[in-house]
Structure 1
Amino acid sequence: MTSYIDNLPVGVSSRSIPVGDLDVHILEAGDPSNPLILLLHGFPELAFSWRKVILPIAQLGYRVVAPDQRGFGRTQPRSTANTPVRYGDDVHPYRVLNIVKDAVALVFALGHRSVAAVIGHDWGSRIAAFCSLIRPDVFQSVVMMSLPFGGPPSLPFDVDRQAIVPPPNIFDAEARARLASLDPPRKYYMTYFTSPQANEDMLNAPQGLRAFLRAFFHVKSADWLDNDPHALASHDPSELAKLPHYYMMPFTATMPEAVMPHAPSSEEVKRNRWLPDGDLSVYVAEYGRTGFQGGLDWYRASQPEFYEELAVFSGKKIECPAMYLSGRKDWGVFQTPGAFQRMKSEACVRMDDEDVVLVDDAGHWVQQEQSEQVVKHVQRFLKKISLEV
């Protein structure tokens, strides 16, 4: 089996530590006495997705730690460590608030009371945002990657004088029906990811797990030339239909079927330098062992009945220094209409224009596709905020 250790850069180590109900697997580098930086991955990634940036950031004078987050890779509940996560399992542990608690507990377990920066990508971006929103005493700055933070769920304000307009709900029956009525009919990937069959579809992809993951990473990268991200005008289905098939899926397709027509050729795979076959093998081995359900339960726990508890923070803003960094070819910037603008104008009090960065020649997997650029921009941000103290 391809292991983490076989593919880690020299200077990056791997181990597991007990944190709450979890045995948390981490990758780390740097002097443990240095200020801590926490790296939080997304889906379908692992701590391994930070392999190219852990050591360079540590060499700036930090202790850098990247965990496999709850339900991913080698981080599993201690009581069920040898049992794959199943669709019918309780999803409450995957709520945003509980994942934030996991992050705080990890920081404390590592012997730190504060974090110089929490850096999150994709799902990790949302967790990093809420970490800095809820515990600014612990998380002193934040870097959000790919997924922009438009603020916590809002509560109706001044309802005495104006009508309540409910926010769009991508999970409700009306939204699903409107997407299904398009020509051709579509469905939203997050709704699919909450379905009972998604894990089996991907784990047992007709093209094989390796070919599926290769295609999925490819289509969301700058290597897929059809990626042309731009702002969407609204949540109207006709606008959302402009998203590529890995977000707005053909109605009857599985995710492996949605990405299969756009899989890279053998020549494109040979030219790939950011995810060579050896690195892809780590993802194949880990997901082949655990399945995808642990990560998919993050989507199940983001449905309104769980996510709305975060409305207790309605109106609260991120007040620590904040940075947003993504690939210029990443549709994640715009997949939620309006979130990118709300992040810059409302949700983050201390986000300078220079700290909203779109990296050339990178798509969704920016820290893997353009690691040197990511390190450069993170270094500038960290240096700037250190001078502000």
Structure 2
Amino acid sequence: MSSPEDWQLHPGISSRSLPVRDLQMHILEAGNPKNVLILLLHGFPELAYSWRKIMYPLAAAGYHVVAPDQRGFGRTTSIKRDGAYPVDYPITYGENLTPYRLLNLAQDITILISALEHTTAHAVVGHDFGSLVAGCCTLIRPDVFKRVVMMSAPFSGFPAPLFSEDAPGPSNKGPHAFPPSVDQELARLDSPRKHYTSYFSSPQANEDMCRAPGGLHAFLRAYYHVKSADWSPNNPHPLSSASGESLALMPGYYIMPIDQTMPETVLPYAPTREEIEDNTWLPDAELSVYVSEYRRTGFQGGLNWYRCLIDKSGQLAKELMEFGPLGGRIEVPAMFIGGAKDWGVWQSFSAVDKMKELFVQMGDANFILVPDAGHWVQQERPEQVLQRLQTFIAETES
């Protein structure tokens, strides 16, 4: 197993773990702890390490910068209720899903602030699934999270607590719920397809990826490649509807061939040896950190986040109704950053418009698409992301 000392991080970035609720949470950290706090939340399949290129520059600009391995990822582990010892990996498919629900993930981050001896976060920045956590944090505690930046995945609010006509109790419908009818519609296409969310929620997904043909390194190299700007077929645009025909315009890593695994879907488009040698944003030494960590932990912790999106129990809606009314718009300063070559920005029909409506201070001016960047925008184009973040924070401070 590699260690943070082997990760070739900037000397100003350190690694440690601290107790947060039922977790022993691993964080990467930079800057003076007395400075105001910026939190960086990764997505899937990523780690705190995904922020390595912008952490120290933000710290040098006068911030306390912290990137956690979120619940189910990396070096963050669960602690037994009696505090006796940490529960190590692997996480199994039968794991209790309650800790992985969006509201609980946001509570993890809220309590992390106190564990770091802060009372507020000057900004919370989330990428991919971390964008949904960041948006949720701001929605439930705008007094704690003073600014929010969502990256690559729009956050447009909680699923509405509607009642299903064919189920006893609230359904999990809404902007971030996954309706089963989507897969049914995709399966009826001339070239039958399935949604990646349903695949990631399946019992076999973790094993498929851990035991990918050619090995884990080859799979992750192909997966990061096809979702980046390096893969020329990525030419995203807003969808015209939420229909199966419209969704099927997206690449296979989002709308998959019905009989394929994720490795089978992406490996045919793996980069050439020359493309790998020319890759400056994720050279093999850096990719090897992800490979080492996911070889040790597996993917199931992160996959459990996706399982919560299609959970038919209605538990998320129940939790929100117990939490209290969460209507209205969010007043804190907000920005969205995506890659111009990232289908993730547009994968959910109308989500961008709903996000702009939800966040009062966003609008078109703070909706940024970085040229020549794909899904991994803060890794592919760290300088542009850093400049946008610093400008946004400075302008909203003044």
TM-score by length of 1: 0.94
Taking structure 1 as reference, are residues 178 and 299 closer, same or farther at Cα in structure 2, changes over 3 Å only? same
What is the deviation of 1:89?
A: 1.0
The unaligned stretches of length 5 or more in structure 1 are 158-165
Tell me, yes or no, if the aligned pair for 2:196 and 2:256 is still in contact at 8 Å. yes
What is the deviation of 1:382?
A: 0.5
Q: What residue is the counterpart of 1:148 in the other structure?
A: 154
Equivalent residue for 2:273, pick from 266, 269, 275: 266
Q: Deviations over 1:319-362 (max 9, x none)?
A: 10000001110111100000011111x11011143211100111
Tell me, yes or no, if the aligned pair for 2:152 and 2:337 is still in contact at 8 Å. yes
Q: What residue is the counterpart of 2:113 in the other structure?
A: 107
1:20 maps to amino acid = R
Tell me, yes or no, if the aligned pair for 1:155 and 1:314 is still in contact at 8 Å. no
What are the equivalent positions in structure 2 for 1:50-199 lying under 5 Å apart? 50-79=51-80, 80-154=86-160, 171-199=178-206
Q: What residue is the counterpart of 2:169 in the other structure?
A: none
2:57 maps to amino acid = P
Q: Single out whichever of 304-313 and 90-99 deviates more from structure 2.
A: 304-313
Q: What residue is the counterpart of 2:10 in the other structure?
A: 9
CA RMSD of aligned residues (A): 1.7
Tell me, yes or no, if the aligned pair for 1:129 and 1:318 is still in contact at 8 Å. no
Matched residue count: 378
Q: What residue is the counterpart of 1:163 in the other structure?
A: none
Q: What residue is the counterpart of 1:216 in the other structure?
A: 223
Q: Deviations over 1:2-59 (max 9, x none)?
A: 3332221221000111111100000010000000000000000000000000001111
What is the deviation of 1:155?
A: 5.0
Taking structure 1 as reference, are residues 194 and 262 closer, same or farther at Cα in structure 2, changes over 3 Å only? same
Q: What residue is the counterpart of 1:320 in the other structure?
A: 332
Tell me, yes or no, if the aligned pair for 2:161 and 2:320 is still in contact at 8 Å. no
Query: Helix, strand or coil: the match of 2:246?
Result: helix
Q: Single out whichever of 349-358 and 305-314 deviates more from structure 2.
A: 305-314
- Give the share of equivalent positions with the same residue, in percent: 56
Query: Helix, strand or coil: the match of 1:114?
Result: coil
Q: What residue is the counterpart of 2:26 in the other structure?
A: 25
Query: Helix, strand or coil: the match of 2:309?
Result: coil
2:341 maps to amino acid = K
What is the deviation of 1:107?
A: 0.4
Q: What residue is the counterpart of 2:298 in the other structure?
A: 291
Q: Does 1:379 align with 2:385?
A: no
What is the deviation of 1:301?
A: 1.6
What is the deviation of 1:82?
A: 2.4
Q: Single out whichever of 4-13 and 244-253 deviates more from structure 2.
A: 4-13
- In 1, Cα distance between the equivalents of 2:360 and 2:316? 23
Equivalent residue for 1:230, pick from 237, 240, 246: 237
- In 1, Cα distance between the equivalents of 2:349 and 2:244? 12
Tell me, yes or no, if the aligned pair for 1:152 and 1:313 is still in contact at 8 Å. no
Tell me, yes or no, if the aligned pair for 1:145 and 1:325 is still in contact at 8 Å. yes
> Structure 1 residue runs of 4+, over 4 Å off?
166-173, 311-314
Taking structure 1 as reference, are residues 99 and 70 closer, same or farther at Cα in structure 2, changes over 3 Å only? same
- In 2, Cα distance between the equivalents of 1:170 and 1:69? 21
What is the deviation of 1:150?
A: 1.7
What is the deviation of 1:170?
A: 6.8
- In 2, Cα distance between the equivalents of 1:210 and 1:374? 27
Q: Does 1:306 align with 2:312?
A: no
What is the deviation of 1:167?
A: 5.9
TM-score by length of 2: 0.92
Tell me, yes or no, if the aligned pair for 1:152 and 1:315 is still in contact at 8 Å. no
- In 1, Cα distance between the equivalents of 2:137 and 2:208? 33
Tell me, yes or no, if the aligned pair for 1:148 and 1:343 is still in contact at 8 Å. yes
What is the deviation of 1:154?
A: 2.9
